[in-house]
Amino acid sequence: MADVTVMGAGIFGLTIAWSCLQRGAHVRVIDPNGAGAGASGGIVGALAPHVPENWNEKKAFQFDSLIAAEDFWRNVEATSGISSGYARLGRLQPIADARALELAQVRAKGAQELWRGLARWQVVEAGGYDWAPVTPTGYLIHDDLSARLHPRRACAALAGAITARGGEIVAKAAPEGTVIWATGVAGLQELNAGHNRMVGSGVKGQGALLHFSAVALPQLFADTVHVVPHADGTVAVGSTSEHDFDDPTGTDMLLDAVVERAMQAVPVLHGARVMERWAGLRPRARSRAPMLGAHPLRGGEYIANGGFKIGFGMAPGVGRVMADLVLEGVDDIPAGFRPEASY
C-alpha cells in the first residue's frame, strides 16, 4: 500500500515523490506517459534567479531552492547513478546602456544583503571573458547563483532515484493514501472547467540544441534568449512564450528566430549545427507562481502545478514544503503560492 500517490511524473511530481520517500513514506507515481514526458522533458535547463530587488516571498523561495539545488541533485545522482547534468556555473548578461549599468550596480548592492553572502551578483568588465554575449557598454552582469541541468536527464535521474529507494513509477494504478495532483496543463484545464474561469493555461515554448561544446562555461542571457551549455557538449537555446498556437508540439519560424538571435548575441555560435528542435506546453498559473496546497476541486487531496519557466529551479523547495504538508501537517507554503491566489 502506498502512503502517497503522486499523479504526474513531471519535475514537480517526481521531486515531491523523492522528498516523501526520503521521509520514509511508501510512494507511487502514476503517469501514463512516463517520467518527464511533458514540459519537463525539454532541453533548455536554465536555473536562474530573479533580480535581487523588490524582494518578496516568491523570490526568497526561489533563492532558497537554488541554494539547496547542489546538495539536492548530488543526492539524487548518488542514489540513481544517473547524471542530471547539474552544475552551478553562473550566468552572464550584457548591459545595454548607461541606465542599465546604473541599475545593475544598484542590484549588485542589493544582492549583498538579500542573498546573505551565499551568492554574488556583480558588474564586471566584458574583456575578462572569452565566452560572453555582445555588450554595448563593455560591461556584463555576472551572478554565480545560476545553474544548469539537462531537464530530460534530471527527470531520468529522479525516476531512477525513486525506484532505487523502493518507490514505484507506473502507467496506471488506483490511487492509494494521500493523493497529490501534479498533472501540468491537464490539471490547469480541469481547474478552469471546475471554476468556469481561467485559472491557468499552457504556454508554448520552443528551444533548440546546438552542436557546440562549452561544457564548463556559464550560461548566457541576451536579447531574451537563454544560451545554456550542457555537460554533453551541446548548447541549448530558448525559448519562445506563445499563448496562441495551432500545434503545441510543433516547431516553426519562431524557433528559427530564437536561434538567429542567439547567434547574433553570441557570435561564436555562428555555424553551429542544430541537432534537435523541441516544443511543448508549460503550465502557467494565472498568478505566475507555483500552485501548491489543498486541491480546490478534490476534497482531501493536494495539488502541485504551475511551474512554468521556473519549475526546475523551484523543485527542491516545492518538494520540501509539499512533503512537510502531506506527511507532517506543517504548512510553510507561501501565501502567494496557494491555489486560491490564481482565481
Q: Do residues 231 and 275 both lie within one domain?
A: yes
Q: Do residues 45 and 95 both lie within one domain?
A: no
**Packing angle of the helix pair 311-323, 11-22 (nearest 10 deg):** 40
Q: Do residues 223 and 120 both lie within one domain?
A: no
Q: Do residues 53 and 156 both lie within one domain?
A: yes
Q: Do residues 165 and 297 both lie within one domain?
A: yes
Q: What is the residue-wise DSSP string for 286-342?
A: TTSS-EEEE-SSSTT-EEEE--GGGHHHHHHHHHHHHHIIIII------GGGSGGGG
- For residue 177, what is its C-alpha cell? 493514501
Q: How many Cα atoms within 13 Å fall on the side-chain side of residue 147?
A: 26
Q: With a threshold of 0.95, does the pTM exceed it?
A: yes
Q: Tell me how many degrees the CA angle 262-264-270 measures, rounded to the nearest 5.
A: 80
Domain end among 280, 315, 332: 280
Distance separating alpha carbons of residues 15 and 309, to the nearest angstrom: 16
pLDDT of the residue at 128: 86
pLDDT of the residue at 343: 83
pLDDT of the residue at 330: 98
Q: Do residues 10 and 159 both lie within one domain?
A: yes
Number of domains within the chain: 3
Contact 78, 50 (CB under 8 A): no
The end-to-end CA distance of the chain, in Å, is 35
Q: Do residues 73 and 18 both lie within one domain?
A: yes
Q: Residue 212 belongs to a domain with what CATH number?
A: 3.30.9.10
pLDDT of the residue at 209: 98
Q: Do residues 128 and 13 both lie within one domain?
A: no
DSSP annotation of 269: G
Q: Do residues 186 and 276 both lie within one domain?
A: no
Distance separating alpha carbons of residues 219 and 234, to the nearest angstrom: 12
Question: How many CB atoms sit inside 10 A of residue 78's CB?
Answer: 11
Distance separating alpha carbons of residues 341 and 85, to the nearest angstrom: 34
302-305 and 178-181 beta bridge pairing: parallel
Which parts of the chain register pLDDT below 50? none
Q: 116 lies in which domain range?
A: 91-144
Q: Residue 331 belongs to a domain with what CATH number?
A: 3.50.50.60
Q: Do residues 12 and 140 both lie within one domain?
A: no
Q: Do residues 72 and 210 both lie within one domain?
A: no
Distance separating alpha carbons of residues 10 and 52, to the nearest angstrom: 29
Handedness of CA 260, 262, 264, 270 (dihedral sign): negative
Q: Do residues 70 and 154 both lie within one domain?
A: yes
pLDDT of the residue at 243: 96
